Amino acid sequence: MSEKIVISPTSRQEGHAELVMEVDDEGIVTKGRYFSITPVRGLEKIVTGKAPETAPVITQRICGVCPIPHTLASVEAMDDSLDIEIPKAARQLRELLLAAHDVNSHAIHQFLIAQDVVPADLMVTAINSVSEIRKNAQYVVDMVGGEGIHPSDVRIGGMAKNISEVARKRLYARLKALQPKLDAHVELIIGLVADVGFPEGLGVTTAPALATHQLYGDRTKFDLERFTEILPESWYDDPEIAKRACTTIPLYDGLNVEVGPRARAEVYHGFKDKGVVAQHVARAIEMKAALSKAIDILAELDTSAPVMADYDIRGTNKLGIGAIEGPRGMDVHMAQVNDSKTQFYSALVPTTWNIPTMGPATEGFHHDFGPHVIRAYDPCLSCATHVIVVDDEDRSVIKNEMVRI
Amino acid sequence: MVLGTYKQIVHARSTDKQIQKISQDGGIATGLLCFALDEKIIDGAVVAGPSDEMWKPEPTVALSSDEILAAAGTKYTLSPNMWMVKEAVRQYGLEKAGIVTIPCQTMGLRKLQSYPIGVRFVAGKIALDIGIFCTENFPFESLKTFISAKAGVDFSLVEKMDIGKGKFWVHTADDVISFPIKETHGYEQSGCKVCLDLVSELSDISTGSIGAPDGWSSVLTRTEPGETIFSQAVDAGLIETKPMDEGKFGLEMLTKLAKSKKEKAMKEIDQRKELGLPVPYKASSEKEDPLANV
């Protein structure tokens, strides 16, 4: 006899999602469906018709966990649409910003899974370690991006300002000092994940890995021809779920894909392991790579070099693509500029790629492991948090159809 | 207390000949910042540095003594130094920033530190605030206009400007022209008319020429860090001091001018309040001491 286990909303996540698992008599998941119940964002519509500079400022508000990738993807899309070649130092600063953000964001992710993998006696150690890493990584974001959460200095055409030589040396010294701490942290996390004893094969999917770059993002590796987008009605075989799901289903070569640190590791480093443990391990290892990269950039950055290109804001209606490898995966923004206004804007955010993959990843194991699988892949849905109340009087849309908390 | 809270008040000047030569009066702001930088008490400072245009200062983050020296001397026009504070600790990466402010900016700085909205981690990184005495300030175009009109000199020939003995002094290469300070009224920015602070009451150290003999400054140390840095600089021999002249041209004059600025401003504040205009101060009827800087 099949039973249905519903977790709504899934916990220790940013945003609201629902995990519906059909289970057999032993409680083993036979069919997993994961979908976002956070209603329409509409941010792409907000920026349409406005000056191109509006887009990065508005779209970075898509998420407070992931503001840097959204800002970068947005300016990269605009750069592409306006045919701007940004100066080398600007590119370095952007890469530095993302690398630092990666370290910070992965640490947040580890904080969110701490309850799952850290025993009580080590909890304080683990949380302190996370805090220490975040503090240092955010210090870099503060200085390079201008603001710690929503960076003000990332601009179309480059960056608003280069950092000073003092700041460069200071950041370099600070990140160098962080390196042994991060190494210890990564070792701690990998060890703790191994100690949990997750069953072999948990969270493994057949979805192909999609990534455009080891750490930064490369629009030339994202082929728009191979991308299609379908409505939830054509994806979820349960009409009730299809009706309530709030995201479209993006496909690459007609298939749902996996994005994120493990996908990047598979595509660029031949990382073979899959599943929950592999997700945590790949994420932890990527922190080291990102920190090394940040240090390398700081070692060679020319702080007197220009960071802003000259450009013509009017545009030619070219479809610009910005592909950025955010902590949770590939974040693609697309923009068209003509007559100095954004004519079209669309964002394909990391979690949207992962959503159709995460549900089936719960299959074949006891439903108790379901949330572990979800959190291993992606702890946020905030790419989709902007509520629209259709009927202010009875608030029926929210109560009956959307977010049931 | 029209001079605000202070620990000590003295006359002082920098002993450095180079600073004496380029500074406005006693070279206290320049001397103290150079000293604090050398001693690593600060790692940089927001100052009114030179811009592309003569006499038009630009808020600058000075990271070396040379850059501080380049900003020496008073410019009688606005330099929005607060504008650079955030940048100084973000893009410039300062951990212990120094800053030179005129009274309105001193108030802004303290407000920023008390309510750090939009300036995360900035408040704690301000290590030293040197406040400058200020009676009023002029927009750049105002300054240009009244100098050419009243002194009859081309603005580009001006080598030094000064206010003292009730007059505005304009030095050129071969001439010194003066006209009564009263004649500049109407040219100052309107905010100065409601300002209750002459001596940067909220700074760490205040300094200015009022009440001091030529080539000297009056200095008030106000906070623990301000007092410490000042006495260290004195001990190191970089600043010499002499007791404050309590007489008519000393403390008495400073007190008199500070009081009259407050009284004039209070009148204007009360008047504006009566008209229902927004003023960021209390009316005299709303506070215990009508001259308090609140």
CATH number of residue A139's parent domain: 1.10.645.10
The answer to whether A163 contacts B43, with C-beta atoms less than 8 Å apart, is no
Cα-based distances in Å from A345 to A50, A158, A220, B2: 11, 20, 19, 59
Neighbours of A160 (CB within 10 A): 18
The answer to whether B93 contacts A161, with C-beta atoms less than 8 Å apart, is no
**pLDDT for A115-167, tens place per residue?**
999 999 999 999 999 999 999 999 999 999 999 889 999 999 999 999 999 89
Mean of the per-residue pLDDT values of chain A: 90
HSE at residue B5, side-chain half, CA atoms within 13 A, is 8
Do residues A37 and A17 lie in contact, with contact meaning Cβ atoms separated by under 8 Å? yes
Give the single-character DSSP code of A205. -
pLDDT of residue B129: 97
Domain hosting A44: range is: 3-401
For residue B78, with 0-12 CB atoms within 10 Å meaning exposed, 13-18 middle and 19 or more buried, which class applies?
buried
| Secondary structure of residue A111 in the 3-state scheme | helix
- Rounded distance, CA A277 to CA B101, Å? 56
Residues of A in contact with B94 (CB under 8 A): 166
Do residues A216 and A387 lie in contact, with contact meaning Cβ atoms separated by under 8 Å? no
Q: What is the mean pLDDT of residues A303-323?
A: 96
CA-based radius of gyration for chain A:
21
**pLDDT for A162-219, tens place per residue?**
999 989 999 999 999 999 999 999 999 999 999 999 999 999 999 999 999 999 999 9
Residues of A in contact with B63 (CB under 8 A): 164, 166
**pLDDT for A345-372, tens place per residue?**
988 888 889 999 999 999 999 999 999 9
The DSSP element (H or E) to which A292 belongs, if any, is helix A276-300
Q: Which two tokens stand for residue A347?
A: 């964002």
H helices of B23-155, in order, are 28-38, 65-70, 85-89, 103-114, 140-146
Number of domains composing chain A: 1
Parallel/antiparallel/unpaired status of strands B126-132 and B205-208: parallel
Parallel/antiparallel/unpaired status of strands B160-164 and B126-132: unpaired
The residue type of A29 is V
pLDDT of residue B41: 95
Does residue A89 carry a pLDDT above 70? yes
Name the band, by pLDDT with cuts 50, 70 and 90, for residue A43. Answer: confident
Residues of A in contact with B121 (CB under 8 A): 142, 148
- Rounded distance, CA A110 to CA A137, Å? 15
**pLDDT for A267-279, tens place per residue?**
999 999 999 999 9
| Secondary structure of residue B48 in the 3-state scheme | strand
Interface residues of B toward A, Cβ cutoff 8 Å, are: 43-44, 61, 63, 87, 90-95, 120-121
Does residue A386 carry a pLDDT above 80? no
% of chain A surpassing 70 pLDDT: 93
Q: What is the ipTM of this complex?
A: 0.76
A317 and B CB contact within 8 Å? no
What is the distance in angstroms between the Cα of A71 and the nearest Cα belonging to chain B?
A: 18
Give the single-character DSSP code of A399. I
- Rounded distance, CA A113 to CA A10, Å? 13
pLDDT of residue A285: 97
- Rounded distance, CA B106 to CA B268, Å? 21
pLDDT of residue A382: 63
Neighbours of B212 (CB within 10 A): 28
Q: Which two tokens stand for residue B198?
A: 């002459």
Cis peptide before B290 (omega within 30 of 0): no
Domain boundaries along the sequence of chain B: 8-135+191-286, 138-187
A53 and B CB contact within 8 Å? no
CA-based radius of gyration for chain B:
18
Neighbours of A218 (CB within 10 A): 15
Please list the ranges in chain B whose pLDDT falls under 70.
Answer: none
Name the band, by pLDDT with cuts 50, 70 and 90, for residue A405. Answer: very low
Cα-based distances in Å from A209 to A204, A252, A259, A330, B60: 12, 10, 6, 11, 49
pLDDT of residue A44: 85
- Rounded distance, CA B6 to CA A404, Å? 61
Angle, CA of A97, A103 and A104, to the nearest 5°: 85
Q: Strand pairing partners for A252?
A: A227, A255
- Rounded distance, CA A368 to CA A372, Å? 8
Disruptive mutation site among B63, B83, B90 for chain A (greatest number of A CBs within 10 Å): B90
**pLDDT for B126-142, tens place per residue?**
999 999 999 999 999 99
H/E/C letters for each residue in B201-248? CCCCEEEECCCCCCCCEEEEECCHHHHHHHHHHHHCCCEEEEECCCCC
Higher pLDDT, A387 or B230: B230
**pLDDT for B192-210, tens place per residue?**
999 999 999 999 999 999 9
The domain at B138-187 falls in which architecture? Roll (3.10)
Angle, CA of B128, B131 and B135, to the nearest 5°: 170
A97 and B CB contact within 8 Å? no
HSE at residue A173, side-chain half, CA atoms within 13 A, is 7
Q: Which two tokens stand for residue B199?
A: 């001596």
